[in-house]
Structure 1
Amino acid sequence: MPHLTVTPEAASQLRLQLMALTRRLRLEAQDDELPFAQLSLLACIERADGTATPSALARAEKLRSSNLASLLRELETGGLILRAADPEDGRKVRVRLSEAGRSVLEAHRLRKDDWLRAALAGLPPQRLELLLAAGEVLAELAAAEPPTARQP
């Protein structure tokens, strides 16, 4: 199989297409009761599955500790998260979603999924199949480590 070269233009075009879809999904969720930063943090807490510490959340979400502290306070005040001392190290705090937090996150996802499902239903079967297969590749790209510098 021949080696394909990705041109800067092709990479830029794909980036723009992905950004357009991301913007559209955000637009579909604009009726969310929470700002995007809070929803993103809720999703990060969910992914940690009860093991989230504030410092790990700050790293994962690329937030300064002061910004994270403010978001956590707002989420806790809203009853969307619960904080508890780490059972193994009482100096650490663990953060997890409350049932209300899970419900808000699920409603947010359903709004976006409903729009996407309706949009996908309008595609011809061949294009839908192609797009669903591309989704697997996009997931691989999202999880990929940055390439290391090539040696001459």
Structure 2
Amino acid sequence: MPNSSIPAEAVSRLRLQLMALTRRLRQEAQDDELPFAQLSLLASIERADGAATPSALARAEKLRSSNLASLLRELGAGGLILRAGDPNDGRKVRIRLSGAGRQVLDAHRLRKDDWLRAALAGLPPQRLELLLAAGELLAELAAAETPAVHRS
């Protein structure tokens, strides 16, 4: 049963804290050669592990097909993705990362990981342990399926 007694202020504070961390991680990756939308799409392609189709990517990234097509053209022109016909359905196209696409995505992640590692190194051991445990809870929270809340 959901806990409806969580104070609105606590929920708001947590949201703001998560947003601040997300912003900081994006700032640390400002030297990326690609815009965030392209990096996010590369990550979605990687997560699909060879099964990425344009329609699945559009759903995962919540993009219109025209916006997705533009991003895919840009990534293709940069040699970051490869397209191949689906072996089971000739009408479908599968998209995967090229070696260059994987390198770009890995470099992007490494920049953020380097900043986070340095920031974590400054924490006392007990707080570091607590934060790392909270990371597991945050992953569960991100994966939670909850009914949409509608306000009047």
Task: Give the TM-score normalised by the residue count of structure 2.
Answer: 0.94
Q: Residue 125 of structure 2 aligns to which amino acid in structure 1?
A: P
1:107 maps to 107
Runs of 4+ residues deviating >2 angstroms: none
1:88 maps to 88
1:19 maps to 19
How many percent of aligned residue pairs carry the same amino acid? 84
User: In terms of mean alpha carbon deviation, does 4-13 or 47-56 score higher?
Assistant: 4-13
Q: Residue 117 of structure 1 aligns to which amino acid in structure 2?
A: R
Q: Matched residues in 2 for 1:35 and 1:6: separation?
A: 37
Q: Residue 113 of structure 2 aligns to which amino acid in structure 1?
A: D
Q: Please say if 1:136 is aligned against 2:136.
A: yes
Q: Residue 105 of structure 1 aligns to which amino acid in structure 2?
A: L
Q: Matched residues in 2 for 1:55 and 1:112: separation?
A: 29
Residues 115-130 of structure 1 mapped to structure 2, 5 A cutoff:
115-130=115-130
2:56 maps to 56
* 1:83-128 CA-partner distances (Å, limit 9, x unpaired): 1110100100000000000000000000000000000000011110
Unpaired runs of at least 5, structure 2: none
Q: Matched residues in 2 for 1:90 and 1:4: separation?
A: 50
Q: Please say if 1:34 is aligned against 2:34.
A: yes
Q: Give 3-state SS (helix, strand or coil) of 1:27's partner.
A: helix
Unpaired runs of at least 5, structure 1: none
* 1:118-147 CA-partner distances (Å, limit 9, x unpaired): 000000111101000000000000001014
Q: Matched residues in 2 for 1:134 and 1:140: separation?
A: 10
Q: Matched residues in 1 for 2:83 and 2:90: separation?
A: 12
Cα root mean square deviation, aligned: 1.3
